[in-house]
Each structure stands twice: as structure tokens, then as C-alpha cells.
Amino acid sequence: MSTITTKDGVEIFYKDWGPRDGQPLVFHHGWPLSADDWDAQLLYFLGKGYRVVAHDRRGHGRSAQVSDGHDMDHYAADIASVVEHLDLRNAVHIGHSTGGGEVTRYVARHGQPSGRVAKAVLIGAVPPIMLKTAANPDGTPIEVFDGFRQQLAANRAGFYLDIASGPFYGFNRPGAHVSQAVAQNWWRQGMMGGAKAHYDGIKAFSETDFTQDLKAIEVPTLVMHGDDDQIVPIADSALLSVKLLKKGTLKVYEKLPHGMCTTHADIVNPDLLAFIKA
């Protein structure tokens, strides 16, 4: 199993597939999942000749279930360690949901100073900030995230099954094509990780303010979002983020859900390829 150990002693699992001389595409997964959530993208881009890399965030998947460091600064530093270990250059960093926040902080704080990043992609991503605050009055109230924490602590397995079977993939919408296999795979990935990491991760994805990170990003950045995203509402995320990016491009997907990379990979993947090749 491929792992690296970070400076603070955390073992991080990663996948590294494809030709060593291919352009690297680095995929950052959402909460509370793992690198496996990118299967539909990893195989697609592997077939196009790219080098594809995806890691399990600390406390998630096959990475160490440590007690501490479940915040965006550590998440970004961890992927920086993976990138340095593999010596990835001219890479495109692609993040979904919480992973989009991770990409934003990584590129702003670690990727650009080292010159390792060519482009970035934010898909259904949490920036600029999800939480309702005085500066972000249209955000989601803290009570919603407190509810997430309560449900996780009370019955994590049931909570995860409800998310996967309902709003994450839009399976709760009238006429939706429901895939129990997709929902069960989401549940499997979630239950592989540690409850402590997932509990702390709710604060990380909901309360982190990425405004200054977005403003600092110099590389071309594609912002992709479904307008029926029930997990990260588009009005509070993508529509705001693209205004803060220097070289941002927004692509909105009508009626697509938060988990569109899985349910609509046939639409998402070609658009990603076009942006990477542009």
C-alpha cells in the first residue's frame, strides 16, 4: 500500500497511477469519503494518458485515524507532502466539496510558491465559506452543522446512509434514478474513516473562510457546480467564488446534484478534459 508520513507523523495513503511522464492530475475527495470516490475520473483520465493521483485525507479511508489536525491548514500541508514526495509538477488539482476547499488552500499557500500547479478545478466546492456570519448573511446557520455533529455522534452509520440515499446524489428528487450500489459505496467509504476526523471535519468544511485564498490564486481555475446541489448551495459558493478568482471560469449544470461526478461522469469528465487541455 502506497503511503507517506507527514512531518507531524501522520501516515497518508495515496494512489498514483499512469505514466510517470504524463501530466499529473491530483484529485481531492469530499467529506467523509476517500480517494475511491474518484473512480470514474481516475479510470477515464488514465485512459487519456494522464498520471492520476488521489489520496485519503487524514482520518479518512486508509490514512491514519489520528486525533488531531482535522483542519484545512493540515489538510493542505498533507497534500503538499504527497506532492513533494512524488515530485509532481505542472499538476492540475481537482477538488470536490470539502476537497475543493483543500485545493483552494493548497494552491494559495503551497502550490503557487513552488510553481507546481498549472490549473485548479473546484467542483461543488465549499468556498468561500458555508457558515452564516455577519459578513456572510446568506450562509447556512450554525444550527444545521450542529445537527450534523449530533447525528454523527448518535448514529454515524444511519446518518451516512441517509445522506447517500437522499440529498447527496439527488436520490430524494421526484423521478430520480436511484442507485443503491452508489449509495452503499458512499456509505462504505464513510465508514472506513474515523468518527473523530469526520466530526472535526464538519467545522473545517463549514467554518473555514477561503476568501483570501481565492483572491490569491493566480492559475486558471474552473468552478463547476450543479444548480440542484442540496449539500453546498450554489448561490452561497460557486457564484461567489468565481467573482473572487483572478482567472475563474464558471460552469453551471442544470438540475445536477452534489455528487454529479459519480451520477453524471459522462457529462463532467469531458468538460474537465477540455479545461485541462485548453
Residue 138, φ and ψ in degrees, nearest 5:
-95, 5
DSSP state of 108: I
The three-state DSSP-derived secondary structure of 170-182 is CCCCCCCCCCHHH
81 is catalytic: no
Neighbours of 87 (CB within 10 A): 9
The pLDDT value recorded for residue 1 is 80
Query: How far is CA 153 from each of CA 32, 188, 198, 222, rounded to the nearest angstrom?
Result: 14, 18, 10, 35
DSSP state of 58: T
Angstrom distance (rounded) from CA 264 to CA 237: 20
DSSP3 helix / strand / coil % (the chain, rounded to 5): 45, 15, 35
Quickly list H helices, the chain.
39-46, 72-86, 98-106, 112-114, 142-165, 180-192, 195-207, 211-216, 238-244, 260-263, 265-277
3-state secondary structure of 31: coil
258 is catalytic: yes
The pLDDT value recorded for residue 32 is 98
Per-residue b/e over 7-42, b at no fewer than 16 CB within 10 Å?
Answer: eeebbbbbbbebeeeebbbbbbbbbbbbbbbbebbb
Residue 31, φ and ψ in degrees, nearest 5:
-80, 140
The pLDDT value recorded for residue 114 is 85
Catalytic site residue from 60, 229, 236, 237: 229
Is the pTM above the cut of 0.95? yes
- Amino acid identity of residue 196, one-letter, is K
The pLDDT value recorded for residue 115 is 87
Q: How many Å separate Cα 148 from the centre of its chain?
A: 18
CATH at 236: 3.40.50.1820
Angstrom distance (rounded) from CA 176 to CA 185: 18
229 is catalytic: yes
Q: How many Å separate Cα 140 from the centre of its chain?
A: 19
Catalytic site residue from 34, 63, 81, 97: 97
pLDDT tens track, the chain, 278 positions: 899 999 999 999 999 999 999 999 999 999 999 999 999 999 999 999 999 999 999 999 999 999 999 999 999 999 999 999 999 999 999 999 999 999 999 999 999 888 899 999 999 999 999 999 999 999 999 999 999 999 999 999 999 999 999 999 999 999 999 999 999 999 999 999 999 999 999 999 999 999 999 999 999 999 999 999 999 999 999 999 999 999 999 999 999 999 999 999 999 999 999 999 99
The total number of structural domains that make up the chain = 1
Q: How many Å separate Cα 33 from the centre of its chain?
A: 9
Catalytic site residue from 60, 96, 258, 264: 258
Q: Which domain holds residue 163?
A: 3-277
